[in-house]
């Protein structure tokens, strides 16, 4: 299966400006050299704490943030290097679903306006004479009543609003949908409904998902593969079942351990692995392994050398102490 999306050595950094000194005093590498492949029709889960660079990664791929280095190959085109008009054409194929549909939807616009403005910007996707019919089909597809097309976002429940966000993302018939914490703002009872909808849409429309979440139990249900992000770097990547059954990186183990019902190796390690301290500032990351300030196994080599993401055991792990 050829990859629809191939991200290579992607870096996204931002200048840190001191208002006091009135100059740039440094840079934050929010995404610090990320690589992965996402085959068409599959879901890659990106997992990490807040501050791990998940959203910046998403925003870079979708074009809301600029890559500092590396490449974002989408259907063979490098979006980080292609000319602007080529990128604009490609961007239509990549849409985003945001965490909070209420803040990502313009409250002054009806559902009809929210969806059709996408068609206004890209008139070749759906001809105007087809708008009404296409809108009805789209709303039905996401489980909304087409008769409610002229209502405003505030007239819907949280779960329904996320369905509007999904309809909007699908209006341009994208191939890749980046879901950034799409159910985190919803009641647990509603989360499963929205996840089932996303799964059905993927099956019916052949969609490819990059699914970003801090919630491992959510990712477990939707992802084919999981990449674990720590301070802007992937520390482990594997098929979902393998990540949960045999996590190898100390950070992955700590993350899983924080969710008792996901602690698959509890027979061998009954005690949860506790994460010491806070996430270090991405403006001043630790040398060598970025996780070493919180790692119980940290050794001398960990401060001196950056561990590469290379196959160790069954799948790629970025840790010096996991045997090859």
Residues that bind Mg ion (CB under 5 A): 55
Cα distance between residue 161 and residue 155, in whole Å? 9
- With CB under 5 to 8 Å by kind, the binding choice for 55 among Mg ion, ligand SF4, none is Mg ion
> Shortest gap between Cβ of 26 and ligand SF4 (angstroms)?
24
157: contact with ligand SF4 by CB under 6 A: no
117 contacts 125 by C-beta, under 8 angstroms = no
Contact residues for 271 (Cβ-Cβ < 8 A; gap 6+): none
What x-and-dash track marks residues 278-307 binding ligand SF4 by CB under 6 A?
-----------x-xx--x-xxx--x----x
- Size of site (CB under 6 A) for ligand SF4: 13
With respect to ligand SF4, which residue has the nearer C-beta, 178 or 289?
Answer: 289
Q: If residue 47 lies in a helix (H) or strand (E), which one and from where to where?
A: strand 43-47
> Shortest gap between Cβ of 265 and ligand SF4 (angstroms)?
17
Helices (H) and strands (E) in the chain, counts: 11, 12
320: contact with ligand SF4 by CB under 6 A: yes
309: contact with ligand SF4 by CB under 6 A: no
CA atoms within 13 A on the CB side of 217: 12
> Shortest gap between Cβ of 16 and Mg ion (angstroms)?
19
With respect to ligand SF4, which residue has the nearer C-beta, 140 or 305?
Answer: 305
Tokens describing residue 120: 């206004």
With respect to ligand SF4, which residue has the nearer C-beta, 262 or 322?
Answer: 322
Residue with tokens 């505030």: 154
211 contacts 223 by C-beta, under 8 angstroms = yes
């Amino acid at each position: 299966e050829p990859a629809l999306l191939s991200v290579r050595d992607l870096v996204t950094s931002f200048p840190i400006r001191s208002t006091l000194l009135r100059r740039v005093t440094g840079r934050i590498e929010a995404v610090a050299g990320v690589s992965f492949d996402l085959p068409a029709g599959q879901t890659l889960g990106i997992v990490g704490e807040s501050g791990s660079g998940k959203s910046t990664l998403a925003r870079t791929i979708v074009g809301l943030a600029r890559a500092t280095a590396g490449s974002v190959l989408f259907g063979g085109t490098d979006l980080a290097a292609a000319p602007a008009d080529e990128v604009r054409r490609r961007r239509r194929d990549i849409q985003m679903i945001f965490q909070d549909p209420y803040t990502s939807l313009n409250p002054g616009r009806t559902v009809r306006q929210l969806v059709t403005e996408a068609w206004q910007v890209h008139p070749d996707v759906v001809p105007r004479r087809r708008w009404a019919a296409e809108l009805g089909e789209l709303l039905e597809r996401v489980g909304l009543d087409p008769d409610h097309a002229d209502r405003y976002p505030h007239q819907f429940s949280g779960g329904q609003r996320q369905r509007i966000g999904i309809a909007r993302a699908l209006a341009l018939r994208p191939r890749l949908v980046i879901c950034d914490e799409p159910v985190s703002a919803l009641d647990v009872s509603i989360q499963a409904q929205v996840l089932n909808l996303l799964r059905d849409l993927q099956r019916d429309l052949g969609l490819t998902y990059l699914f970003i979440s801090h919630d491992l139990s959510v990712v477990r249900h939707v992802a084919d593969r999981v990449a674990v992000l720590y301070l802007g770097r992937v520390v482990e990547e594997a098929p979902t079942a393998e990540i949960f059954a045999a996590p190898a990186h100390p950070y992955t183990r700590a993350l899983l351990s924080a969710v008792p019902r996901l602690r698959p190796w509890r027979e061998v390690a009954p005690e949860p692995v506790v994460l010491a301290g806070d996430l270090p500032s991405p403006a001043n990351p630790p040398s060598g392994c970025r996780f070493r300030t919180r790692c119980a196994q940290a050794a001398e080599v960990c401060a001196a050398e950056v561990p590469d993401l290379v196959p160790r055991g069954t799948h790629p792990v970025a840790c010096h102490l996991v045997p090859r």
